[in-house]
Amino acid sequence: MPRSVVNITVHGIGPAGRDRGGDDDPTWVSTAQFEQVLDAVVGRSDVRLTFDDGNASDVEVALPRLVERGLTAEFFVLAGKLGERGHLDRAAVRSLLDAGMAIGSHGWSHRDWRRIDETQAHQEFYEAHWVLAEITGAPVSRVAIPFGSYDRHVLCRLKAAGVTRAYTSDGGRTRADGWLQARTSIRRDLDAEWIDRVLNPDTSLVHRARGSAVRTVKRLRG
């Protein structure tokens, strides 16, 4: 296992499958852009692919292209959105599993976890996991934090809920075995230069220090 990895996050791909996608969402990329990223990570043991939100494009667009290239990924699903227009349903989640993909939780309804009450927290950190575990037939203990919004209280809640790994949106490389995993989202303005910069393990010390500082501030804030 490499000491550090780059975690790439994908949201929507191709034509918008729901209102949030399309020109109004900078994280919604074209199929060609998505394929460009996949081709760049084939054979890279230091790159992990993750998907957020449980969009229908995860199965309709991403899955066949991942399988074609012999790639695997972890899909973080919104349990409360299953079956809604433009989102995965239970059968689609099972098809991801059958293809060798991993399933994690993105919570219940894409709330900011820094601004939820105890009832909502129970739904986000427990009920969502139970629903996904019922579908997958195994415990779900990894999460992707919506909006990358967290603080020390969120992290304490996640650990109390038995979360074994939490993915953020902090960007940059991260320790391969870390509990808290920084990720970088692909965006519709990506190009070959962006891909090379994100995947290059020789990131400048300035960028590394900046990323470390951001993570430290988030962990400590109340």
Q: Which residues contact 106 (CB under 8 A, 6 or more apart)?
A: 52, 53, 54, 76, 77, 78, 128, 143, 144, 146
Q: Which domains does the chain have, with CATH numbers?
A: 4-220 (3.20.20.370)
Pairing of strands 4-10, 184-185: parallel
Which has more confidence, 72 or 203?
72
Residue 163 has pLDDT above 50, yes or no: yes
Name the percent of the chain lying above pLDDT 90: 82
Q: How large is the greatest C-alpha to C-alpha distance in the chain, in angstroms? A: 45
Return the pLDDT at 192: 94
- Cα distance between residue 133 and residue 17, in whole Å: 26
- CB neighbours (10 Å) of residue 9? 23
Q: Which residues contact 216 (CB under 8 A, 6 or more apart)?
A: none
Return the pLDDT at 206: 46
Instruction: List alpha helices for the chain, DSSP H.
Output: 31-41, 57, 63-69, 90-98, 118-122, 128-136, 152-160, 192-199, 205-220
pLDDT per position as a tens digit, 5-58:
999 999 999 875 444 554 568 899 999 999 999 999 999 999 999 999 999 999
Confidence class for position 112, pLDDT limits 50, 70, 90: very high
Residue 213 has pLDDT above 80, yes or no: no
Return the pLDDT at 148: 94
> Mean pLDDT throughout 100-122?
97
Residue 216 has pLDDT above 90, yes or no: no
pLDDT per position as a tens digit, 115-157:
999 999 999 999 999 999 999 999 999 999 999 999 999 999 9
